[in-house]
Amino acid sequence: MKRGTLYAKDSGKKLLREMWKASTGWERMRGLLGHPPLTAEQGLLIEPCRMIHTVGMRYPIDLAFLDSSGCVRKIVSSLLPGRVAGSFFATATMEFAAGTLQRLGLRAGDTLLWRET
């Protein structure tokens, strides 16, 4: 997986210092399965992706579904294990530790930018 940093596109403010990008078929399929829970400064970008599941996971996660311009189209807070979530308009999904969306104040309409480090 590629490693990068997450920024608020409009302000340039760094939001997360450690954000991986899953872009191959295997990386997207595996996602966070088998990984320890993300910390408050970590996230996973899955692209392309408009739907995720938490089957087999042992912890809840926050989700942000993004369109092709990086605009947040839908957020889901604390999705429990064994659930499914998605957005018809999404081209990418960001996964975060539960509580991250609230801590960062992310909302639908915000525009995010992932940069490879």
* Domains detected in the chain: 2-111 (2.60.120.1140)
Q: What is the DSSP-derived secondary structure letter of residue 111? A: B
Q: Report pLDDT for 36.
A: 84
Whether the model pTM is above 0.85: yes
**Does the pLDDT at position 29 exceed 90?**
no
Pick the more confident residue, 40 or 32: 40
Q: What is the pLDDT of residues 74-110, one digit of tens each?
A: 999 999 999 999 999 999 999 999 999 999 999 999 9
Q: What's the distance, CA 55 to chain centroid?
A: 17
pLDDT at 67: 98
> DSSP E strands: which ranges in the chain?
2-8, 14-22, 42-46, 51-53, 61-66, 72-79, 84-86, 92-97, 112-116
Q: What is the pLDDT of residue 32?
A: 74
DSSP 56: T
